[in-house]
Structure 1
């Protein structure tokens, strides 16, 4: 995992929170929810390969 991924996740979090606040104050709660959900899915797509790699490493460790 690189530091670049952490910065990307932080940027998505900041962007989603700002958009969420703007949409909630303008009365568009449904679009604010969809924006939050889209940010979560995007970050999960970035993180899933690292989680898979972690589980593969753990599996290799215990099958000595």
Structure 2
């Protein structure tokens, strides 16, 4: 996992936070929720391969 992935996640977090605040203040809480959900799904798609690799490493380490 590189530093670039951490910066990408931070950028998405900042962007989602700003957009959510703007949408909440304009009275569109539903859209703010959908933006937050989309940001979460985007970050999870970046993280899932690393979690899979971690579980594979643990499995080979303990020979399960």
Question: Which TM-score band applies after superposition, normalised by the shorter structure?
Answer: over 0.9
Query: If the length of structure 2 is used for normalisation, what is the TM-score?
Result: 0.98
Q: CA deviation at 1:7?
A: 0.1
Runs of 4+ in 1 over 2 A off after TM superposition: none
Q: Does the alignment pair 1:20 with 2:2? A: no
- 1:27 partner SS: coil
Query: If the length of structure 1 is used for normalisation, what is the TM-score?
Result: 0.98
Cα RMSD (Å): 1.0
Deviations 1:14-64 (A, max 9, x none): 000000000000000000000000000000000000000000000000018
Question: How many residues were matched structurally?
Answer: 64
Structure 1 stretches of 5 or more lacking a match? none
